[in-house]
Structure 1
Amino acid sequence: MVVWSTGTVGKHAIAVIDGHPGLELVGVWVSSEAKEGQDAGRLAGLDRDLGVIATNDRDALLALKPDCIVHAAMTDDRVPEAIEDLIAFAEAGINVVSSGPVILQYPYGVLPDDYIARVDGAATKGGVSLHVNGIDPGFANDALPLAMTSLSQRIDELRCQEIADYSTYYQPVVMSELFGFGKPMDATPPLVVPQVLTLAWGSVVRQLAAGLDVTVDEPLDVRVERVAADKDYSTVSVEIPEGTQAALRFEVVGKVNGVDRIVLEHYTRTHSDQCPDWPTPAEGDGCYRILISGEPHMAVEFTHHGEHGDHNVSGMIVTAARLVNSVPAVVDARPGLITALDLPLITGKGLVTS
């Protein structure tokens, strides 16, 4: 295994690999000169050496011919470049699991067919598999809701929600430049542009539709609500002065014959006391909630928090763990671009504390 980047997700991927009996870390890529030459264990916060030294020598890592690369580099602000990286890994005959670009978790009906064919073709030619996943987009709105629908007699609406306080989420570019937190209300953050939402989270709606064998109306509906700060707020990523954007709600809606059937919905606060009329987690400051209307009505709330941190820390852990624990199944899968619909049940095999 090679871990590509040691940021908020990558450092946890190193820790998960270290604790997995069937996986061995052989290389780590870093973009920062300050991290180059450091031991992977130190970069992962393990307080011990693993004997694997981080490097920014791309060719040296590919020459190791690892079975799989766990790609955890930031992709939100460099989507085309990141996809080219994944293509290059696949063409080199290396399996890949990646936390982004999220559009690749299910690109069908979103990206042009010839572009998808190029990505899929690179993996097929290399005889390897490429899988993009995480927690959202990922497990919380693919494997979890689809497993729940197996209990249904009739499904009227499937709704996947993220309800979270992002005040401790450290991603300055995402928080400020993409979400628009701390920006004037008359500015339009890139994330809320309908085409951007349908590119990123529209892939979630379409994958759920494919899993349920329905065809959603095109184009998908997008609904957005932005809320201004009633006072000054401070987060770990950005300062939010009074009057600037402090909270955001959006829906990406798949309708069938004009009726809402599959909905991806986010409620994003930057402080827990904001928007009291919005849904709140049953416990903690963040959750994923699956709501299935029909016969029967069902709801599941999935919460998490870190052993030494909050839900934003554990959000990175579960993203990394979902990717790393899927590696054996991805390596065994057919060559090409692999979605959650193509994989068997992924478990934490081998991870129970002895």
Structure 2
Amino acid sequence: MRRVVQFSTGNVGRHSLRAIIGRPDLELAGVHAASPAKIGRDAAELCDWGEPTGVLATDDVEALLALKPDCVVYTALAETRPVEAIEQLSAILAAGINVVGSSLVWMVAPRHAEDWVREPLEKACAAGGSSLYINGIDPGYSGDTLVHTALGLVTRAESVAVQEIFDYGNYDDAEFTGAAMGFGVAEDAELPPLYLPGVVASMWGGQVRSLAAALGITLDEVTQRTERWFTPERIDCTMMTVQPGEMAAVRFATEGVLNGKVVITMEHVNRLTSAAAPDWDFPPDGHSGVHRVVVEGDPRIEINTHVSHPVLDPTDAGCISTAARVVNAIDWVCDAPAGLVSVEDIPQTAVLNGLLW
């Protein structure tokens, strides 16, 4: 039985919290919440679990570390506060506690992450004899597991493209996802940080370089491109109301270039309702979202992954899958040697832990 602390209860965290409570091989030891409205509430209330757990949410990190859990599931937003997140993760790891998480996407491919984010986490793992594993569905699964599957089906690959194409209209997260991506921002307003020069390439570049290394190629450069779409008509959706002249869709990509040609692409195409960016790529067959890999080669391979749920929106279903990527790895990561863990380190059969319970 692994004792686990859930760190944050947002769009991903509430799903990982629910998974931890329901798993017979995990014991919920504590819950961290930053919102004053959540502090002191039973964990069950924060994830719609039917029965009280007796575990109350707190913002006292030291008290949670004093519980000496085997693992912390870290799903707190990190992309808009990376320095603070690195400090929190370092404190947990240096205390000898393993971490699995979906945040700090720079670390999805840790061996190819930039020094400023990787080095302090490496030092914390060494100091505490602990392990850190970061993954998700994108970045993560589509660019490091699905793409490996696709590439294993060709005798020769000319190029590979990984895409997330999603309608975020029903995603109730204007405060973070909406603001970070710049939805509802006028064209002449200050650029959101995501679209500043080098930011997209910094965040997704590690996965591009990791895939290039797996293919045995040395890229000439890793570049980025971004394009925003501003609506001529008002758009009303769960995320927000977008007025004419404000951004309602965006596509951005990190690209690996070899001999003057783009050979690896990792791209997001995100919109608010199907009225936005009608000329851009859409998911197939009327789906609201897809994680897609296309390999141009011999033969051509295209794999489309759709997530769904009988009650929740597909964007919420994607958050469940994101949570699954780390919760299912807890046992393996706790047994792993100290240090940074990459997805390729973990045998895929070792994360089939969400079945038959």
TM-score, scaled relative to structure 2: 0.93
Whether the 8 Å CA contact 2:167–2:271 is kept in 1: the answer is: yes
AA partner of residue 249 (structure 2): A
SS at match of 2:248: strand
Whether the 8 Å CA contact 2:100–2:132 is kept in 1: the answer is: yes
| Structure 2: distance between partners of 1:207 and 1:346 | 22
AA partner of residue 7 (structure 1): G
Partner of residue 89, structure 1 = 92
AA partner of residue 162 (structure 1): E
Whether the 8 Å CA contact 1:325–1:346 is kept in 2: the answer is: no
Q: Give the counterpart of 1:214 among 212, 217, 226.
A: 217
Partner of residue 50, structure 2 = 47
Partner of residue 60, structure 2 = 57
SS at match of 2:266: strand
Partner of residue 135, structure 1 = 137
Map Cα deviations across residues 203-256 of structure 1 (whole Å, 9 max, x no partner): 2212222222322222x1222221110211123333210111111112211012
AA partner of residue 343 (structure 2): A
| Structure 2: distance between partners of 1:107 and 1:241 | 40
Matches within 5 A, 1:226-241: 226-241=228-243
Whether the 8 Å CA contact 1:2–1:61 is kept in 2: the answer is: yes
SS at match of 1:86: helix
SS at match of 1:314: helix
| Structure 2: distance between partners of 1:80 and 1:189 | 18
| Structure 1: distance between partners of 2:243 and 2:181 | 15
- Aligned-residue sequence identity (percent) comes to 39
Partner of residue 330, structure 1 = 333
Matches within 5 A, 1:109-120: 109-112=112-115, 116-120=118-122
SS at match of 1:77: coil
Following TM superposition, by how much is the alpha carbon of 1:18 offset from its aligned partner in structure 2, in angstroms? 2.3
Following TM superposition, by how much is the alpha carbon of 1:136 offset from its aligned partner in structure 2, in angstroms? 0.9
| Structure 2: distance between partners of 1:16 and 1:55 | 19
Partner of residue 276, structure 1 = 278
Q: Give the counterpart of 1:173 among 164, 172, 175.
A: 175
Following TM superposition, by how much is the alpha carbon of 1:347 offset from its aligned partner in structure 2, in angstroms? 5.6
Task: Give structure 1 stretches of 5+ with no counterpart.
Answer: none
Q: Give the counterpart of 1:15 among 9, 15, 18.
A: 18
Partner of residue 150, structure 1 = 152
Whether the 8 Å CA contact 2:159–2:296 is kept in 1: the answer is: yes
Q: Give the counterpart of 1:296 among 296, 299, 319.
A: 299
Matches within 5 A, 1:32-43: 32-43=35-46
| Structure 2: distance between partners of 1:346 and 1:229 | 46
Following TM superposition, by how much is the alpha carbon of 1:165 offset from its aligned partner in structure 2, in angstroms? 0.4
Partner of residue 258, structure 1 = 260
| Structure 1: distance between partners of 2:42 and 2:117 | 38
Distance 1:251 1:33, change over 3 A: closer
1:286 aligns with 2:289: yes
Task: Give structure 2 stretches of 5+ with no counterpart.
Answer: none
Distance 1:156 1:244, change over 3 A: same
Could you tell which deviates more after superposition, 331-340 or 126-135?
Answer: 331-340
TM-score, scaled relative to structure 1: 0.94
Distance 1:3 1:341, change over 3 A: same
1:321 aligns with 2:324: yes
Following TM superposition, by how much is the alpha carbon of 1:348 offset from its aligned partner in structure 2, in angstroms? 5.6
SS at match of 1:59: helix
Distance 1:180 1:215, change over 3 A: same
Following TM superposition, by how much is the alpha carbon of 1:110 offset from its aligned partner in structure 2, in angstroms? 4.6
AA partner of residue 212 (structure 1): L
Could you tell which deviates more after superposition, 178-187 or 69-78?
Answer: 178-187
| Structure 1: distance between partners of 2:254 and 2:83 | 23
Map Cα deviations across residues 25-72 of structure 1 (whole Å, 9 max, x no partner): 111111122212211112111122122222222111101111100011
Partner of residue 101, structure 1 = 104
Whether the 8 Å CA contact 1:31–1:56 is kept in 2: the answer is: yes
Whether the 8 Å CA contact 2:86–2:120 is kept in 1: the answer is: no
Whether the 8 Å CA contact 2:86–2:117 is kept in 1: the answer is: no
